[in-house]
Amino acid sequence: MLALEHAAALKGTEMTTDHQQTRKDETMTAWSTDDLRAIAENDDLFVSPFREDGTTYGTPTQTWALIVDDHVYVRAAHGPQSRWYQAAMSQKAGRVRVAEQTYEVAFEPAGDQVSDAIDAAYEAKYPGSTAVPIMQGDGPKSATVRIVPR
């Protein structure tokens, strides 16, 4: 058990007695250039909003992350009914993983002002994918999340 606790501490989490990872706050105020590059260069970003207890991370969910004006955005493919989206909006925090790196983050509604730029970013990052028109649909658009490091 000591080795597990040590490994978890190195990654910024804590282990509970039943081996669930829980919240350990560390502050990061902005995405670094390297972080943004890693997110831009990887197809997938996994989101894990906190569960209802506000300390235990939810199951990682695969998303497509986009960079628009040095901000990170994701959309829920199933719109506002997506469980991870609902958790992100209610808990407002959790973590994300990309390229084997984990970040503590806050989740915020993106707002409509960036919708067109996000649509264009989907086309640029995933050219020819049949999933792009789905992600540009009304449901996913209404479930656009800005991910902010904390």
The confidence score (pLDDT) of residue 27 equals 53
Global pTM reads 0.81
Q: What are 15's two structure tokens?
A: 């282990």
pLDDT-derived band at 14 (thresholds 50, 70, 90) equals very low
Residue 49 clears pLDDT 70, i.e. is over it: yes
Phi, psi of 127 (to 5 degrees): -60, 135
The confidence score (pLDDT) of residue 22 equals 46
- If phi > 0 it is left, if psi is from -120 to 50 it is alpha, else beta; for residue 73 that is beta
Report the range of poorest mean pLDDT among 4-18, 52-66, 89-103.
4-18
Of the candidates 80, 50, 74, 54, which has an alpha carbon nearest to the alpha carbon of residue 62? 74
Q: How far apart are CA 94 and CA 16, in angstroms?
A: 17
Query: For 31-116, where are the E strands, in sequence order?
Result: 45-49, 61-63, 66-68, 71-75, 93-98, 101-109
Residue showing tokens 């597990």: 4
